[in-house]
Amino acid sequence: MALITTGKSFIRDLEKSGALALYMPLEGGFEGRYQRRLRAAGYTTFNLTARGLGDPAAYLTRVHGVRPPHLGKKEIRVYYLPPVINYQLEQLPSKSKGLVLWMIEGSILSRDEVEYLSSLPQQEPRVKVALEMGGDRSFRWSSLKEVLLAAS
């Protein structure tokens, strides 16, 4: 890998495919560099973890209920939260190219959840998905659809 990378090929591949599977060294540092390059290219990034996500379709695009632990004999309440992606898209600056949903720990997601995330950019063209799928010796990426085809 070159000492200084511009990230242009990463951004070009993200724009072309809409959803990328990312593999990077486990010691970290690469995600911040590429997120900084995305922001410099005009995108807004939103970091999210796959742990505890539940149903991605409901969490990301619909109003969904959340029940915090009731801790004893208190009544069980449901709090309704707005959809994450729709809220973030409403808050985008006018000159932003779009929203990049950067999700860590994507290896714990089921095949159906990964398929939904790969189809999300077709449903909402302003949204791109970068899903961290595991570790590798160097930072590399491939289309999320290619990863799904290889896994089947």
In the chain, where are the structural domains located? 8-53+93-151
Average model confidence (pLDDT) for the chain?
89
Question: pTM for the full model?
Answer: 0.86
pLDDT (0 to 100) of residue 3: 46
- Determine what percent of the chain falls in helix, strand and coil, rounding each to the nearest 5: 40, 25, 35
Q: Is the pLDDT score of 99 beyond 70?
A: yes
Give the pairing of strands 64-66 and 127-135: unpaired
Which residues does residue 99 pair with via DSSP β-bridges, in sequence order?
44, 127
Distance of alpha carbon 74 from its chain centroid, rounded? 35
Phi and psi at 120, nearest 5°, equal: -60, -40
Residue 77 has a pLDDT of 86
Average pLDDT over residues 116-145: 93
Helices (H), 5-143: 8-17, 30-40, 56-61, 84-90, 111-123
